């Protein structure tokens, strides 16, 4: 996949994923676009907690993925990025797009109807990690579940921007690990 394709995917995620939630906010809930933006919950403390939660969980996942059990399972990001050199600016951009776009769709939209547990399971399944044919991939999905549930329940206590910052931080750490690995020479 080329860097251009990655940017197109990022932009689609950022701008298209929120549309169903925006329409629901405007036409069903009769709220304003400013309500949809969740600006009152854009506060330093919840965002900081989200960043710490996302970074901490991602570091734990990277540590666990380094264990022999997970050797045969490349992450979805690794599969998508195979053969594509990405840089820090790409990682930052893609992490922001996914953090914002997916959280608008899942946290503010789908979760309203399905609740935090079903939405979290649905989120992980859509990312392909509840694969019943591959126990390693399924195990990774189970490993992600507490994190996604933490984001889902965090919405009620810490607000939307906590969810975005946790998701952003998690993705950024995974992309950072990918960047580190792509610049590390392999022992051939």
Is 133 within a domain? yes
Residue 127, judged by CB atoms within 10 A of its CB (0-12, 13-18, 19+), counts as middle
Is 185 within a domain? no
pLDDT tens profile 43-67 = 999 999 999 999 999 999 999 999 8
What does the alpha-carbon distance between residue 75 and residue 60 come to, in Å, rounded to a whole number?
A: 15
Is 110 within a domain? yes
Is 69 within a domain? yes
Residue numbers of the domain that contains 88 = 3-179
pLDDT tens profile 1-47 = 788 999 999 999 999 999 999 999 999 999 999 999 999 889 999 99
Specify the pTM.
0.93
Is 153 within a domain? yes
What is the total count of domains within the chain?
A: 1
pLDDT tens profile 92-107 = 999 999 999 999 999 9
Which pLDDT band holds residue 74 (cuts at 50, 70, 90)? low
Which pLDDT band holds residue 167 (cuts at 50, 70, 90)? very high
Is 55 within a domain? yes
């Amino acid at each position: 996949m080329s860097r251009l394709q990655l940017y197109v995917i990022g932009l689609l995620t950022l701008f298209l994923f929120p549309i169903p939630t925006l329409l629901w906010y405007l036409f069903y809930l009769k709220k304003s676009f400013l309500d949809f933006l969740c600006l009152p919950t854009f506060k330093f403390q919840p965002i900081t907690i989200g960043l710490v939660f996302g970074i901490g969980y991602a570091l734990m996942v990277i540590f666990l993925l380094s264990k022999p059990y997970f050797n045969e399972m490349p992450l979805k990001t690794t599969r998508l990025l195979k053969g594509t050199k990405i840089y820090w600016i790409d990682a930052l951009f893609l992490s922001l797009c996914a953090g914002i776009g997916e959280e608008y769709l899942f946290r503010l939209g789908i979760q309203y109807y399905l609740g935090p547990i079903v939405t979290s399971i649905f989120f992980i399944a859509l990312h392909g990690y509840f694969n019943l044919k591959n126990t390693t991939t399924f195990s990774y999905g189970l490993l992600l579940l507490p994190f996604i549930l933490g984001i889902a329940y965090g919405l009620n206590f810490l607000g939307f921007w906590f969810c975005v910052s946790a998701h952003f931080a998690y993705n950024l750490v995974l992309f950072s690990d990918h960047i580190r690995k792509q610049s590390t020479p392999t022992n051939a």
